[in-house]
Each structure stands twice: as structure tokens, then as C-alpha cells.
Chains A and B, each alone.
Chain A
Amino acid sequence: MHDLAGYALDIATAAGASYADVRIIEQESQHLGTKDQNVSRVLLGSSQGLGVRVLCRGGWGFASTQALTRQSVRAAVARAVATGFASASCLSRPAILAPEPAYNAVWVSPHTVNPFSVSLETKLGVLLEAARIIRSVKGTTLAQGSMSFISEKKLFASSEGSRIHQTFIRSSCGIEAYATNDHDRQRRSYPNSFGGQHELAGWEMVERWNLPANALRIAEEAVSLLTAPACPQTTTNVILEGSQLGLQIHESCGHPSELDRALGQELNFAGASFLTPDKLGKLQYGSPLVNLVADATASGALGSFGFDDEGVQAQRVYLVQDGLFTGYLSSRETACLIGLARSGGAMRSESWNMAPIIRMTNISLLPGNAGSLEDLIGATDDGIFMSTNKSWSIDQLRYNFQFSTEAGWEIKKGKRGRLLKNCSYGGITPAFWNSLDAICGTQAYVDWGVPSCGKGQPMQTMWTGHGAAPARFTNVDVGIAHASLKEAP
């Protein structure tokens, strides 16, 4: 592989590229699904290929090939160089890269049990057992389960001399219980919606999350939701459970802090950002309790790596410190555009077949001192505790958001009360984060994984992580989503 990467770099620079990098990736994957007692998906995949990115007279070019032969690589490099020079004919300014040392490194993601060493029977057995428990609850109408495992080996080589080998093991698992009647459809998921929990870990994470042990609870909750009162339309305190808070961070902090968006480079699809460079170091993004980091070094978190896809070493960068907007997710090119000395290391690509773009790593809210979830509920006189995302939407500058959750519970005088269905809340990002007044402690902190963040044209999906402990927000508008319906379900 080294030889092939070096060959690609040599012919790219010989063809006129001032910079080139190559990624050679081998990936193995398993995607399993069950529906009640049936196997609904068994998709086992393998993928390998080479992507080459070049800079020609300041214009980017990229091409790829799955045939790892010199002939195919030569053709791919020629296409990349041709697209690079085509870009150069239509530039507003040539790309310049912030400096980064050349590395010769090996990095392996932490895992205890290689998930590919565990039989398919064992894996499906866990899902089928959870489904059996779910469907034993009267009123449930469907049980679904899923697991995914991905093993990835990546070689990065650049014309600046880097040679970096990385190995990633990603695992995920989740179950869903559905209840339907003539008037309503309700769902509860565990450990999270979006296919459950996703980690940069091995089979041990499946055992740790113990799907069957939680199947009965979510099944009973799904059925109870059918007859539960609806979330009231009011303004109140809201405590967000960690996985929902993780998605709130993802949408209202992670995306707007992507520097390509802030510079208008994603204007046409993903959108721009209200966090424009003139606000850096000036905007009070959140309350003084809010500390948000982009941490690609968090062990076991889904968005971690040793080096990003342009060879920048993983870093932990403050995006918001003591509530003040202080940093961006950046690349070597965008770092230069706003005068940063170095990239924050956030360039990532879905596969060998796509060029890297700025992506989230692990965008996490540092824990506070409000203790456990029970402690925080106990310290709340009135409000709603909302758990597990059901719906999410935010405008293209990332101001106006609206989320709904699978379940909510009233909080009255420090006690968790009635189950509520159709919970929703919304607001404007800086106002919302400035209303944060308590964050649970490290004992309630989890690195949640969001595996399918979409961005770019063509769309790329990415593995991102969000460390979060439950937190409380004041004066939040709730129950807004269903207000328009003639008859609330």
C-alpha cells in the first residue's frame, strides 16, 4: 500500500500538483436487523479503494478508484489533476494550507472484543431475545432491533511526507418498541433513537448496553404513551436527557461552528452559520456554565481518531468556553482564511470515494456539578424531563430549532410525575444556551454517538460524537409542535 500511495503522490506532483494526499481504505461491515422474530436485514460488506486529492494552481481536484493497480491509480490521478486545473480556472482565491508537521504514525481505536469475532447467531440472538420481551407486552405492535459493526483500516500519505496508519472499530446496537391504535402511533427506543448507541468500540459495548434488560421498560412505556396526556403548550423548565442534549449540541453548536459554513462554502445546501468570524471571542453563546469542546481524542467516542483526513493530529479545541464563543471546527485551508496558525483537525470523509470536508468530531458539553439526573430532578420545582429524540429541525443559519422527544415526564416539586406524550420544545440557539442553569456531573456523562450526520454535495454521512450529561434550561417554549393540529392525537 505504501508503494501505491507513493506512486500516486509521485505522479500527481509530476503532473503539476503543488500538494497531494492519498487515502487507501479497507473496510469491512456488518449490518443486522430484526423485526419481531424475523431477521429483516443481513448485509455484510467489504470495500476498498483509493482516493487522491490534489492542489493545482490553488484549485482542488479529487478522484478515486477501487482497483488498486498502478494502471487504475494512474488514471485516477490524471482525473484528479484535470479537475484540479479545472478548478483553478474558476477560483475566487487559491487555496493555501496552514502548516502541519509530517507524521509517521500508527493509531488503533480502543476495543476489547473484535465484533467480527462474535458469531452472527449470537448477535441476532440478542436482538431476537429483546424482541421477544417487547412483544410479550400487551399492546405492542412491532419490535425492531439493529446492530452494525465496521472495521476500517486507513493509510494516509501526503506529498509533505506523512505516512499514517489508522484502524477503527465501530459498533452500534439498538431496539425499538412500537404501539399503535386507531388514533396514535408511539415508539420508544433504547439506548437511543437513530439505531441506538454508536461507539468507537468493540462487542463489549453491546454487552454493556444490555438490550434485553431494557426491552420490557421501553415496551411498557410505548404502550403507556398511547393513553398518556399530551405535553402542554407552555413555557417552563426543561431537563434534557443526555442523548437528546447530544443532538441539541450537534445541531445548534456543532454545525454552526464548522468554519466552512461560517465562511459561506456550504451556503447552497447545508447552509451557513450565525457564528460568523466577527463574533469569535465576542458572542456570549451560552451561560457561563456552558463549555463546549470539539474533542477528537475522547477515548471510545464515535467521532475520535488519531489524525484527520488531511493528516492533522487529533485535538481538543474549545468552541465555547465559559459561555463565550471561542473556536471553530476547521481545516488547513479554512484555518488560513481566518488567520489561525493551525487547523483544528476536522477534515473527514465518508469513504475513499469522497473528498474530505469539515465535519464534527466529538462536540461535547463538559459536565457540571448538579449531580445525578435524580439530583437534578430533585432540585427542580416545576418543569418537564424530555428523553430520546423523535424529531429534529433547525434553520440553515442554526438559529431557530425545534425538537420533539419520544417521552417526557412532568416534574412537580422535585418529583418525576406523569408520563407525557408528544413532547416538543423550540427556541433560538443563543437564547436557549444562555438559559442553561444546571448540568449533571460526570456520573451522568455519556459519549453519545450520532452515526449519520449529513453534509456536503454530494451528501456524505459521518460518525460524530456528543458527550453530554443531562442539563436544565429555563423558560423554554414546550408543546409547540402539535399546537397546529385541529385535533391533538
Chain B
Amino acid sequence: MITERKCRTLLDVALRHAAGRVDGIEVTIFFSNISTSRFANNGMTQNQSPSRTEISVRVLKDGRQARLASEGITAAAVRKLTDDAILACALLAPDKEMLPLPADAALLPAVLRANRFDHKTASFSAADRARQVKAIVDVARAKSLTAAGVFETGSFVQAIGNNQGLFRFHRQTSAECSITMKAIDESTLNESTGWSKAHSTRVGDIDATALAERAALKAIASANPQDVEPGNYTVILEPAAVLDLVSFLLEDFTGTSHVDKLSCFLGKVGQKALGDNITIVDDAGHALQAGAPFDGEGLPRSRVTLVENGVIKNLLAGRSSAAKLGCAPTGHGLSEPSPEGEAAANIVIEGGKATLDEMIKSTRHGILLTRVWYVRQVDPTSKLVTGMTRDGTFLVQDGAIKCGIKNLRFNQSLIEMLNNVAALGPSLATAGEEGQPAVVPAMLVNNFHFASGTRF
């Protein structure tokens, strides 16, 4: 893993080499060595232990800017990269919207201090991961199921510095386990599946056996899935389903999406757009959150209330969109130059007190979703998205889970959905497969629209 000292050294090499030849220079370094053990059909199928360090140099000169990226991390390679960036700048048309690099770090707020590095996770070996996979497979075999999934561990580093005195360094570990269990009914040969997943900065937080048991329970409980008619249903969305749906709304909170007139919340900042019980913040300092506490230009991430009791309160702004919108940057900018501008990083949706059991008991006729799949935006104005249910979809009847059902396609406006939330569970650290991990609750939602069914 690249050290803070090495990152500072590479920055100094670039700065010294460019001195007097540029108006601004920024160096970004990213390292990752996350290893992934994949398994399927109750055995290991692939096992990767990659490692990569990337360095990029952004040069600003005469109203132009260019970013060059490379994997050369020797002093000579960084000097060449810097020369090439200066050369590339000269070949470009002027960038009329280019801003100078952020001011001296001393003038900026300090970044949050969060220890998101765990030595056990960083040193978790291939043999350690294999033992976790074996434990998962043991659960599957004991229940005559087949298991597929991943167990991954590793670390990454993000560092950024510029010739204005700014330097940031963040190292973090990451552990993730995702499991799908498949059951086959002996009499009908019908298949059913169940899924569970956990993500943490510490591998000790991942209980592979418990996750396997949970996925197995869902696979078994949804045996011989029944057909249900599409239509409007009350749905209980487990946190992973909430995450993978709401993730498609996050781009509408970026300043750039408003500058470009693309956001579904255009002209609605300060107005009520969602239900009274919806409050969403972007909070890099939340105890259950992870990631670097600074953005793509090194600005500290601030806590931003995006939605408060249904009112659109604030947008996420990088320096560029902030200048255009007349607001302060929030520390969510991407590496510049960037067409997208900024992105949400640490979403926390305020939860409630309803347990999943209470939601089920309060539902006369509805559907419980473990997970959603292949969610895509259909209409940017209404924020209509489509997608499928997957790996644990159940009919809830008269306050109890009645049976597993065949999967359904939904076409659902996220704005309408977040106006129809009848109950919220506690907010939990959650990992889905569409959006990045976040802190979100389960939701009980009325009038969720299913458009069609499928064959399994």
C-alpha cells in the first residue's frame, strides 16, 4: 500500500518540476488492493488479488486545463507525466469556465478525522477468505442449497495535493460479503433464491455464517414461488431495496444537474416535494459511513441536509456549480474537469421506529422485497424508474408472509414513492448492488406499481 510519505514525495516531484511553468498543478493518487474470492455451485470459482496505483496530474495554464493519468509512480514517470500535461494544455482550446485551484489549505475548513483503517482487514489473506467461503458453503450444504457470492477484503488510498498548499490523505479498509442461496424443491423442481449482503470497513463486522443463514432462510421460505397479478401494491422494501431505488434520485441533488436544467427538482429547492417523513442528509462523518472526508479537489466534505421533512433544502455543489448557483461548495466535487460536477457520497436517510415485523403485521395485502435489480431511469422529469424484484420476493397477506412469489417488473416514480411512505424502520448500514453503501431504513410504501411479471 502506498504511504502518506510516498504520496507527499510524488506531489513534491510534480510541483518542483512544474514550478514557474504552470498557473496551477494538482496531483491525485489512488491505490487499491481489494482481493475478491468468488464462489458458485458451492465451490470457489475465481480468486483475484490485484493491486493498482494510479496517479493523475491536472495542469492549469493560460486559461486551459488538462488531466493526465498514469500508473508510473517513479519520480521520472511523474516528471514525464507533468511535462505531458503541460504539453497537452497548450494543444487545447481555452476553458471559459475554468476556476483556479482551491486556496491554501489553511483557509479551508479542516477535514473530518475518521479512523476507517483496520489492520486485520488489510492483512486478511486468501486462505482467510477461503475459510469464510467454506463456512458459507457449509451452511448451504447442510440445508441442501447451493451458494454463490463473493467475500472480499482489502484497502485503498486516496490522496490529493496542489501547488496552493493543499494536501489530503485518506486510507481505508473494506470488507464485503454478498451471498445468494438457491433452493430447488424436490417435488416440483422449482427454484427459489435468497440474498443477503454486508459491507464494512472492518472484516470483523462481517458474520459470513449469519449472512448465509439469512440468505438460506429466504431461499427456503420462497420455495415454489406463486404467480401474482401485477398492479398497485403496498410494498415493504428492505433497506437494500430502498438503497438501490433511492440511489437513482441522488444525481438530482447535484448543483450541476440544476445548472444543466436536468434535475427533477429544478425550481423546487425550498419547496416541499416529498413526504413529511422523508429527511435525507449527506454526512461523511456519520458513524456508519465510510469513504474519504474530502472531495475530488480536496475540499472537506460538509454535512448537507438535502431533504428535511419532504422539503428540498440544499444541493451538493462542487466549486464550479457553486460559482454558477451563487452558493458555497459543499465538498462533493468530482475530479475536475468533470461533466457531472459532483456526486453524493455519504447518504443517510432518517429512519423511524417500525420494525420489519411490525410492517408485515400492519399489511393486509402487500409484497415484501428483499432486493431490486437492473433499476434504470425511464423518465428524468417524473423520476420514473423501472426494474425487477429479485432473490426473496414474498406475498404478505393479513399481516403475515404467505408465500414466495415470482418476480415482478416495477415502473415507479421515485418522487411518488417518497410521498407514499407509510412507515420507516431504523436506519442501518446497508449495501445493495446498484448504489454505493449508505445508511437507510426499511420502508413501507403504498401504491407501488408493478407492470408485469416474469417466469420465475
Chain A residues with a Cβ under 8 A of chain B: 33, 35, 37-49, 51, 59-66, 76, 79-80, 82-93, 119-121, 124-125, 128, 141-142, 144, 178, 180, 182-185, 263-269, 271, 274, 353-355, 357, 390-397, 399-400, 402, 404, 422, 424, 426, 428, 457-458, 480-486, 489
Asked whether A264 lies within 8 Å of B182 as measured between CB atoms, the reply is yes
Instruction: Select which of B52, B67, B93, B148 is within 8 A of A265 by beta carbon.
Output: B148
* Cα–Cα distance between A121 and B49 once the two chains are bound (Å): 40
In the assembled complex, which residues on chain A have CB atoms less than 8 Å from the CB atom of B40?
A: 264-268
* Cα–Cα distance between A394 and B381 once the two chains are bound (Å): 22
* Cα–Cα distance between A59 and B373 once the two chains are bound (Å): 30
Q: Which residues, 88 to 125 on B, are CB-close (under 8 Å) to A?
A: 88, 91-93, 95-97, 125
The 5 closest A-B pairs by CB, nearest first: A92-B43, A484-B449, A86-B126, A400-B454, A267-B148
In the assembled complex, which residues on chain B have CB atoms less than 8 Å from the CB atom of A182?
A: 267
| With contact pairs A47-B71, A87-B44, A87-B130 given, residues A353 and B50 touching in the complex (Cβ less than 8 Å) | yes
| Given A42-B65, A142-B262, A485-B416, 9 more pairs with CB closer than 8 A | A42-B67, A43-B69, A44-B66, A80-B49, A86-B47, A178-B261, A402-B411, A481-B411, A483-B411
In the assembled complex, which residues on chain A have CB atoms less than 8 Å from the CB atom of B387?
A: 393
Scoring A183, A184, A354, A404 by chain B CB atoms within 10 A of each residue's CB, the highest score goes to A404
In the assembled complex, which residues on chain B have CB atoms less than 8 Å from the CB atom of A37?
A: 96
* Cα–Cα distance between A149 and B179 once the two chains are bound (Å): 38
* Cα–Cα distance between A267 and B377 once the two chains are bound (Å): 24
Interface of B is mostly: strand
Instruction: Select which of B45, B193, B373 is within 8 A of A395 by beta carbon.
Output: B373
A141 (CB) vs chain B CBs: closest residue:
B261
Q: Which residues, 1 to 58 on B, are CB-close (under 8 Å) to A?
A: 34-54, 56
Asked whether B134 lies within 8 Å of A39 as measured between CB atoms, the reply is no
A82 (CB) vs chain B CBs: closest residue:
B126
Asked whether A395 lies within 8 Å of B381 as measured between CB atoms, the reply is no
Asked whether A485 lies within 8 Å of B454 as measured between CB atoms, the reply is no
A351 (CB) vs chain B CBs: closest residue:
B52
B224 interfacial contact with A, CB 8 Å: no
Asked whether A121 lies within 8 Å of B92 as measured between CB atoms, the reply is yes
* Cα–Cα distance between A390 and B381 once the two chains are bound (Å): 14
In the assembled complex, which residues on chain B have CB atoms less than 8 Å from the CB atom of A457?
A: 36, 38, 150, 152, 178
* Cα–Cα distance between A393 and B146 once the two chains are bound (Å): 26
B409 (CB) vs chain A CBs: closest residue:
A400
Chain A min CB distance to B375 (Å): 7
Asked whether A87 lies within 8 Å of B47 as measured between CB atoms, the reply is yes
* Cα–Cα distance between A62 and B378 once the two chains are bound (Å): 39
* Cα–Cα distance between A398 and B30 once the two chains are bound (Å): 36
Asked whether B378 lies within 8 Å of A89 as measured between CB atoms, the reply is no
* Cα–Cα distance between A85 and B150 once the two chains are bound (Å): 17
Asked whether A267 lies within 8 Å of B409 as measured between CB atoms, the reply is no
A121 (CB) vs chain B CBs: closest residue:
B91
A sample of 9 cross-chain residue pairs with beta-carbon separation below 8 angstroms, ordered by A number, consists of A45-B56, A49-B71, A61-B49, A87-B44, A124-B93, A142-B262, A264-B146, A400-B409, A481-B386
B433 (CB) vs chain A CBs: closest residue:
A269
Asked whether B381 lies within 8 Å of A183 as measured between CB atoms, the reply is yes
In the assembled complex, which residues on chain A have CB atoms less than 8 Å from the CB atom of B426?
A: none
Chain A min CB distance to B94 (Å): 8
* Cα–Cα distance between A157 and B70 once the two chains are bound (Å): 24
In the assembled complex, which residues on chain B have CB atoms less than 8 Å from the CB atom of A274?
A: 455
* Cα–Cα distance between A121 and B89 once the two chains are bound (Å): 10
B127 interfacial contact with A, CB 8 Å: yes
B387 (CB) vs chain A CBs: closest residue:
A393
In the assembled complex, which residues on chain A have CB atoms less than 8 Å from the CB atom of B409?
A: 393, 395, 400, 402, 426
